[in-house]
Amino acid sequence: MLKQQLQQKLQQKLSPAQIQVIKMIEIPTLELEERIRQELEENPALEEGAEMSDTHDENFEDGYNDDGGNNDDMNLDEYMPDDDIPDYKLKTNNSSKDDKHESIPFSVGTTFHEFLLDQLGLLNLTAHERGLAEYVIGNIDDEGYLRRSAEAMVDDIVFQTGAQASDEEMQHIVELIRQLDPPGVAAADLQECLMLQLNRKMPTEEIELAKKMIDNHFDDFSRKHYDKITKALSIDDETLKSIINEIVRLSPKPGNAWSGNALEKSMTTIVPDFILENDDGRLTVHLNNSNVPELRVNNTYNEMMQDYAGNKQNQSKGMKDAVLFVKQKIDSARWFIDAIRQRQQTLLTTMTAIVDFQYDFFVEGDETFLKPMILKDIADIAGYDVSTISRVSNSKYIQTEFGIFPVKYFFSEAMTNDSGEEISTREIKKILRETIEHEEKRKPLTDETLTEVLKTKGYNIARRTVAKYREQLNIPVARLRKEI
């Protein structure tokens, strides 16, 4: 049964401009530069350069209704240029046709898989075998491992390309690819990867013993049961240490060890979003805007709106459509410029609040001076919502005189020591790391022992908490820290 009913509902929605500001706050400086370049390409009403006037109404009135009709209340003053300087005086044309313009070439390198494909020319392969080899290389992951069996690849290549191959033929192709560089490529697992690399080395006594250890005692080696290995191979601790030194020189991920891709290496560069200056204890935060251009609305588009305002008697449908397009582009450009401004102000206010809160750390550079600080602490100081502080601290970095730190580094929970004083968990992690660094490597400290050590220093925490902090520091368990 159908029935009609009237319902009143209160709902809050974000405007497109607010959504744009939120997205701007989240991205770091490098992504912001790319986002600005993209907007400059897509919106012809936006261009680089300082605005001639910073004053404009934030509320843009629609020039037309949704059905495309004219609205006589359209406020054209918002789109008028603020001066009477002719456009030709704002541009220069003093270049000569004889000027030499050169572009600087740059290399982005080749990918890991392209590097392997290039080496296929060194092998004496038929067209059929080369097709199989290219398929095998396509199944090698970025770490250099071939985690699929020859039988599985034979079944897939029949369905995908119709090429016929036997399991023995596919395995032969895999063995040929394992002869390529880097050593260890196309291995099925770590044990096989290490064996492939050892087989490429000059056969010495240590290398031969290393092969035996990897081949017959790999589980004991991975679990650091060194006593079992020395007994099985009838060697002393010094010989075992020499063997291990040979193995640790090998690459557990041959794909990552290959450094031919210059583009991937450049992408790992950290660009700080904030720069902190210390002038005799006076701390000042700056935004790293060295590569972020100033933006303004294109003067030509403003002039088009001025021409429209001066020729209201001559208004064709084509003219109205053109003005509507221009207005939409100008509105979009102004929204984007405002979003950039709000982003810069929000980031600067938030980071300044963090620096003031952690003043002692930024002056001394010792992480033991870090105070317990959570998102709500900074939200209360800066006057923003907790979600805004979270977005600001995500993927952002600050450059100080002590190095570059992620903004998230300064947030930590609070704990109380035996004296009743609130301390940062980061201070406990530092003590935990220093204790492990100075432990006897032949007999590493277990989590239970580390718990007792921290208790003697006034930090009464549980063993599971010690294990959690150790894992956060990327420190393995005692058994895996053992050394000869």
CATH code of residue 468: 1.10.10.60
Q: Is the pLDDT reported for residue 72 higher than 50? A: no
Based on the number of CB atoms within 10 Å of its own CB, is 248 exposed (0-12), middle (13-18) or buried (19 or more)?
exposed
What is the helix, strand, coil percentage profile of the chain, to 5?
50, 10, 40
pLDDT, tens digit, 9 for 90 and up, residues 225-243:
888 999 999 999 899 999 9
Residue 438 counted as domain residue:
yes
User: In the listed set 125, 155, 180, which residue is the last one of a domain according to the structure?
Assistant: 180
Give the range of the structural domain holding residue 256, as residue numbers without chain letter. 186-260
User: Would you tell me how many other CB atoms lie within 10 Å of the CB of residue 70?
Assistant: 14
Nearest to 293 by CA among 46, 76, 81, 74: 46
- 467 and 452 in a common domain: yes
Q: Tell me, letter by letter, the H, E, C secondary structure of 347-389.
A: HHHHHHHHHHHCHHHHHHCCHHHCCCECHHHHHHHHCCCHHHH
Cα distance from N-terminal residue to C-terminal residue, the chain:
82
User: In the listed set 180, 204, 239, which residue is the last one of a domain according to the structure?
Assistant: 180
HSE on the CB side for 298, CA within 13 Å? 18
User: In the listed set 260, 291, 306, which residue is the last one of a domain according to the structure?
Assistant: 260
Question: Where are any strands of DSSP class E within 184-324?
Answer: 274-279, 282-287, 295-297
Cα–Cα–Cα angle for 124, 130, 132, rounded to 5 degrees: 130
Model's pTM, two decimal places? 0.54
The two structure tokens encoding residue 134: 């290219």
- Lowest-pLDDT range, 16-25, 89-98, 241-250, 286-295? 89-98
- 256 and 163 in a common domain: no
Decide which of 70 and 330 is more confident: 330
What's the whole-number mean pLDDT along residues 362-381?
88
| Alpha carbons 315 and 321: distance in angstroms, whole number | 10
Residue 238 counted as domain residue:
yes
pLDDT, tens digit, 9 for 90 and up, residues 390-445:
989 888 999 999 899 999 989 887 776 666 666 778 778 888 988 998 888 888 88
- Lowest-pLDDT range, 91-100, 144-153, 161-170, 339-348? 91-100
**Most confident range, picked from 207-211, 453-457, 466-470:** 207-211
- 170 and 194 in a common domain: no
Q: Is the dihedral of CA 245, 246, 249, 255 positive or negative?
A: negative
pLDDT score at 192: 94
Residue 476 counted as domain residue:
yes
Residue 395 counted as domain residue:
yes
Residue 444 counted as domain residue:
yes
pLDDT score at 345: 92
Cα dihedral 335/67/74/61 (nearest 10): -30
- 193 and 123 in a common domain: no
- 371 and 473 in a common domain: yes
pLDDT score at 214: 93
| CB 395 within 8 Å of CB 415 | no
- 364 and 471 in a common domain: yes
Cα distances (Å, whole numbers) of residue 415 to 60, 163, 336, 424, 436? 51, 65, 43, 6, 21
Q: How many domains does the chain have?
A: 3
- 372 and 471 in a common domain: yes
- 243 and 159 in a common domain: no
- Lowest-pLDDT range, 157-161, 370-374, 406-410, 413-417? 413-417
Based on the number of CB atoms within 10 Å of its own CB, is 105 exposed (0-12), middle (13-18) or buried (19 or more)?
exposed
Distance of CA 401 to the CA centre of its chain: 23
Q: Is the pLDDT reported for residue 1 higher than 70? A: no
- 364 and 475 in a common domain: yes
pLDDT score at 310: 62
Residue 172 counted as domain residue:
yes
- 198 and 144 in a common domain: no
- 454 and 392 in a common domain: yes
- Lowest-pLDDT range, 10-24, 102-116, 173-187, 418-432? 102-116
pLDDT score at 147: 92
| Alpha carbons 254 and 193: distance in angstroms, whole number | 8
Q: Tell me, letter by letter, the H, E, C secondary structure of 65-95.
A: CCCCCECCCCCHHHHCCCCCCCHHHHCCCCC
The two structure tokens encoding residue 86: 């002719």
Residue 394 counted as domain residue:
yes
Residue 345 counted as domain residue:
no
β-strand 403-406 against 274-279: which pairing, if any? unpaired
Cα–Cα–Cα angle for 353, 359, 362, rounded to 5 degrees: 110
Question: What's the maximum distance between 2 C-alpha atoms anywhere in the chain?
Answer: 104
- 116 and 165 in a common domain: yes
HSE on the CB side for 160, CA within 13 Å? 10
